[in-house]
Structure 1
Amino acid sequence: MATKSSPVKSASKPQGVVVKGYLFLYNAVQVAGWSYILFQLVNYYLLQSPQFRAQITLWDYTRFAVIVFQNAAFVEILNAAFGLVKSNPVITTFQVLSRMMVVIGVVMATPTGKVSPGLPIALLAWAITEIIRYGYYALNILNIMPYIVVFLRYTTFIALYPIGVTGELLCFWWAQSYAKTNTVWSWEMPNKWNATFSYFALLWIVMLLYIPLFPQMYLHMFAQRKKILGGNVSKSQGTKKTN
């Protein structure tokens, strides 16, 4: 029996190391990617001249990095689904797909989405949120967790989530105004598939989904904040009393 159990233990250790290594690398790359996007935002609005901004839009300036690092978040759905992380698969799916919809189905799909005032708002909220979130995950894998990182992870969302959602909805609004007068991404009868699809209606359906889903996500984060930060506060208080 001892002989049979030892190979199992030796096999499980490399698998754990591989998974942890993969998760750390993914999170570290995302921290670097979103840090670069944040730098691009600062550079575009604060360091570049008005002449520069007149020649190139924010989307054209940040497009490659946003497409790569935002769409790479689809991996998180798989990580949650296969149990590699403890994230809720349903919440993760909504968070990831809603942002992918903004990038692919709104900004990339319409000329109005590219110039929406919601784009810089969304990108700023996303960048700060993701730098903190992915940094938190990466440090957690290494078992290094400064309290300031935990505090930022479970506090900054209070402002950044509503700001990000506002930016996303503004992008949707600018896109639907274009879709209303154009048949972009829509199928009209008759066609060989004998089916119809309205991109304009899809945009409104997604926007309306924010009404029931965003409060659930927001309250979930508050519950996590109470669980994590509340526990830390009580422990620190208990330590002070003991001393």
Structure 2
Amino acid sequence: MSQSKSAKPKQEQGFLTKAYLFGYNASQVVGWSYILYQLANYYFIAGPEFRASITLWDYTKLAVIVFQNAAAVEIVNASLGLVKSNPVITTFQVLSRMMVVIGVVMATPTGKVSPGLPIALLAWAVTEIIRYGYYALNIVKLVPHIVVWLRYTTFIALYPIGVTGELLCFWWAQSYARTNKVWSTEMPNSLNATFSYFYLLWIVMLLYIPLFPQMYLHMFAQRKKILGGGSAASSSKDKSKKTH
């Protein structure tokens, strides 16, 4: 029985599935490239008069809302088995960023002006351009080694930078929530329930402590699997044997 199962060929993805995945990933590359351009334009190309007339969030919010929230599609893709991503890890990655965009930046005036916003957007944009580009090229079996290397190397710096930006956004938002009790419900009320947005923000921030190391170490494991094994290791062993 085990031999028959192992001998069974893997089912290839259909053309429509491949076309859908390629289109989704390619559109995300375009979207995040535009966001990266907006960041560069806001800080380095446009003059100080432009920055004085509009905030970074007002300038980038439409693209960020559309393309960051479109990442929710990844949860569906992973859950349906259309991609090999871990559904649990994918869900946390997507929802944590959606929480930053919807539950922090869009929900509070302080989140919109947090110094963490440009940091997070920069890390997200570079990460997503590489990641979605890797996925799109992988579908058509045309992935240059440099793209593979970037996919499994740049996270070493970009993940901590992105998390720092996200936590700074949370910190700026919680200060506002503490003094204004925004999005909170206190008793007595018709629902006979209480909810504190301020405590929710702190709960999410504290969840980064156990969850971020797991995600970070998972990426290192993937890096070792993709870049650190196989032919590279065997070739180095062969070279060492020849020298002895």
Q: TM-score normalized by structure 1?
A: 0.91
Distance 2:90 2:195 in 1: 27
Gaps of 5+ in 2: 1-10
- Give, as a single letter, the amino acid of the residue that structure 2 aligns with 1:89: P
Name 1:218's counterpart in structure 2.
216
Name 1:194's counterpart in structure 2.
192
TM superposition shift of 1:188: 0.8
TM superposition shift of 1:234: 2.3
Name 1:173's counterpart in structure 2.
171
Name 1:233's counterpart in structure 2.
232
TM superposition shift of 1:192: 1.0
TM superposition shift of 1:233: 2.4
Is 186-195 or 230-239 further displaced after alignment? 230-239
The correspondence for 1:109, drawn from 85, 107, 110, is 107
TM superposition shift of 1:55: 1.0
Q: Structure 2 matches for 1:138-177, cutoff 5 A? A: 138-177=136-175
Q: How many residues align?
A: 231
Pair 35,81 (structure 1): closer, same or farther in 2 beyond 3 Å: same
Partner deviation per Cα, 1:62-87 (whole Å, 9 max, x = no partner):
00000000000000001001100000
- Identity percentage over the alignment? 81
Distance 1:84 1:235 in 2: 33
- Give, as a single letter, the amino acid of the residue that structure 1 aligns with 2:162: G
Distance 1:185 1:126 in 2: 27
Name 1:98's counterpart in structure 2.
96
Pair 109,150 (structure 1): closer, same or farther in 2 beyond 3 Å: same
- Give, as a single letter, the amino acid of the residue that structure 2 aligns with 1:166: T
Name 2:43's counterpart in structure 1.
45
Pair 239,18 (structure 1): closer, same or farther in 2 beyond 3 Å: farther
Q: Moved runs in structure 1, 4+ residues, more than 4 A?
A: 235-241
Distance 2:160 2:36 in 1: 18
SS at match of 1:186: coil
Distance 1:23 1:203 in 2: 34
The correspondence for 2:123, drawn from 107, 125, 146, is 125
Name 2:15's counterpart in structure 1.
17
Distance 2:238 2:41 in 1: 45
TM superposition shift of 1:154: 0.2
